[in-house]
Structure 1
C-alpha cells in the first residue's frame, strides 16, 4: 500500500470515491464525470485549506482517501498562528476494507496536520467507525459540542 498527498491529477479518482461514498444518500446526484469537474473547481479555490491523502495498492487506481480541512484559529497573545484540523470524507473501496488502509490514511492526514502546527485534530464519525478512531488515539470530548442546523 502506498499513501501520498493527492494533487490535481488525482481529482478524477477522488471524485469517483466521493461519488461512490454518497450514491445511496444522494440519489439525484450528477454523473461522476460532471462531479469530477465540480470537485476540480471547488478544490482549486481551497487547496491551501483542504488536503487529500490517497491510497494505492499495486495498481495506479486510488482505493482510498482521507481529507483534512485546516482551520486557522483566532490568534492569542504569544500564539498568532494557531491552527486546527478536521479529518473528513474517509472512504475505502469496499473490496479493500479490513486491510488497514483507512487507518493509514487517517494517520497520514493527522500527522501532516500536526506537522503544519495544528493544535487539535478532530473527526466527525459515524457510529460504526468510532472504535477505529479510538484505536488511532482520538478521544471523545465533552467540551466539543455541536449545534445542528435545521
Structure 2
C-alpha cells in the first residue's frame, strides 16, 4: 500500500506547491514564463498573503508533494435567512503525470469538497480542462444552466 496522505498544505510545503504550479504551466504549453525562481518566490508570498481566502490541499506520497488543489472561498451577499453565505471555486488541481489515472486526483477533489462542506459553502464551481471533466463529474460536479461566465482576460 502506498504511503499517501491528503491534507492542508504546511507552510514549509508552499515552495513544492509553487513548483507544481510551474510544472502545470509548462505541461500546458505556457510560454515566456520568465525565470522559475522569481515565480516560485512570488507564488509562496502570494499563498501566504491569501491564506484566508485560498486554502491549499496537498497530495503527499512518502513525504513528497505530488498533487495540489486550491479552494478559493468567496463571501456572498447576505440574505435575511442566511446572513453569512459563501461559495467556493476549485482551482489549480494538479497531480504529477506519473501518479495520474489511479484515482488520486478524484481523492484530492473529494477532500476539497469535504472541506467546503465543513465550511458550510453553498456551492463549489470549477473551470475544467476537457480531460478532467469526467473526474469532476464522478465527484458530483454537474453542468448548470444558471451558472454563466464572461471571459475577460486570459491568465
Q: Give TM-score, length-normalised by structure 1.
A: 0.94
1:105, 1:30 → 2: CA distance? Answer: 29
Q: Does 1:25 align with 2:43?
A: no
Per-residue deviation, 1:78 = 2.3
For the 8 Å contact 1:15–1:32, the answer to whether it is kept is no
2:37, 2:84 → 1: CA distance? Answer: 38
Q: Does 1:11 align with 2:17?
A: no
Runs of 5+ consecutive residues of structure 2 not aligned to the other structure: none
Q: 2:41 aligns with which of 16, 37, 42?
A: 37
Give 3-state SS (helix, strand or coil) of 1:98's partner: coil
Q: Does 1:51 align with 2:55?
A: yes
2:98, 2:35 → 1: CA distance? Answer: 22
Where has structure 1 moved over 6 Å in runs of 4 or more? none
> What is the aligned partner in structure 2 of residue 76 from structure 1?
79
> What is the aligned partner in structure 1 of residue 130 from structure 2?
127
1:30, 1:42 → 2: CA distance? Answer: 17
CA offsets 1:68-108 (integer angstroms, 9 cap, x no match): 10010000112111010110000000011011111111111
> Number of paired residues?
149
Per-residue deviation, 1:31 = 3.3
2:53, 2:150 → 1: CA distance? Answer: 23
Q: 2:112 aligns with which of 103, 106, 109?
A: 109
Q: Give TM-score, length-normalised by structure 2.
A: 0.91
